[in-house]
Amino acid sequence: MSAIFPVCIIGVGNMGGAMAARLGQLGWAPAVHDIVRSRAESLMLFGALATEDIAQAAIESVATIICVVDAAQTRDVLFGPQGIAPGLLPGHIVILCPTISPADVEAIAAELGQRGVETVDAPMSGGPVRARDGSMSLMVACTDAVFARCQPLLDALSSKVFRISSRLGDGARTKLVNNLLAGINLVGAAEVMALAERMGLDLNTTLDVIEQSSGQSWIGSDRMRRAIAGDLAPRAHMTLLAKDTGLAIGAAQAVGFAGPLGEAASQVFAQAVRAGLAELDDGALLGFLRRP
């Protein structure tokens, strides 16, 4: 197989769009599709091919990257009324990038497997900027044979491809552990910045200190800098960590684990969503915790 082979991407929002732009500029010319047509068309500037007939594009591709929001959307893309799965040829590779539960990964893979279609469990982390420059993390679980077939594509997408295991669902498990910690860190960062403000401290100076001290976290710095500046345009909607931390708590319960912080952090995201912050950047937690 050539190092570059036909590929399509379904779902080209923040992350999928960044991945498509990267692949396009590397010469892959991915076929792209999104329910918002303009998203796909905008990627033509980077060498992507916007297509209405994504089912045919998938048939003509070696691999299809699914980059939608959740398990329901993933199932709709694959098995819904306009789903692509019935037309996929045996040996086709479906790469699952959304953050979904391990059980959903296993169930989707089993259904695809009945059609002879292979699955790569490959959730991602790092945000659109890192997806665009190829430095995001990909947490990959699949058989060795399938990994070998799609490795050129995975390596084009990211310089940080973590080969988790051959057990489908382990990519999802790793992503949920990571995102639960991200959620805990972000709630903690927003809490201490709200406290610093209540104490009369300058927030930028306080964050300068934290970034060079033991309290530093990447997500805390990234989100709090924007929040302090009043920039709440969504790079990562509040709903995403609300969903992901909820999935992580569900996964923890499934193995009989109850920690002291995860559930509390998950509840903060859920409360922020109920308070009307769903469509804002998750850095809006600072404003949420500033409230009396």
Q: What is the largest CA-CA distance in the chain?
A: 63
Residues 183, 159: one domain?
Answer: no
Q: At 230, phi and psi to the nearest 5?
A: 80, 15
pLDDT at 2 (0 to 100): 58
Same structural domain, 190 and 139: no
Can you give the pLDDT at residue 96?
Answer: 98
Same domain? For 115 and 154 the reply is yes
Alpha helices by DSSP H, listed for the chain, are 14-25, 37-42, 54-59, 71-79, 102-113, 128-133, 144-157, 170-198, 203-211, 218-228, 238-254, 262-272, 285-290
Please list the active-site residues: 175
Looking at the structure, tell me whether residues 33 and 115 fall in a common domain.
yes
pLDDT in tens, 160-217: 999 999 999 999 999 999 999 999 999 999 999 999 999 999 999 999 999 999 999 9
> Residue 292: its pLDDT value, please?
76
For residue 155, the enclosing domain spans 7-167
Q: What is the pLDDT of residue 235?
A: 87
The answer to whether residue 1 sits within a structural domain is no
In one-letter notation, the amino acid at residue 155 is D
Terminal CA-CA length for the chain: 61
Task: Kindly state whether residues 13 and 125 are assigned to the same domain.
Answer: yes
Residue 228's pLDDT is 97
Average pLDDT over every residue of 40-52: 95
Last residue of a domain, one of 167, 193, 224: 167
Same-domain status, 149 and 184? no
For residues 161 and 202, membership in a common domain is answered with no
Retrieve residue 106's tokens. 């296993």
Does residue 60 belong to any structural domain of this protein? Answer: yes
Return the closest-CA partner of residue 176 out of 101, 106, 281.
Answer: 101
The predicted pLDDT at position 165 comes to 98
DSSP structural state of residue 88: P
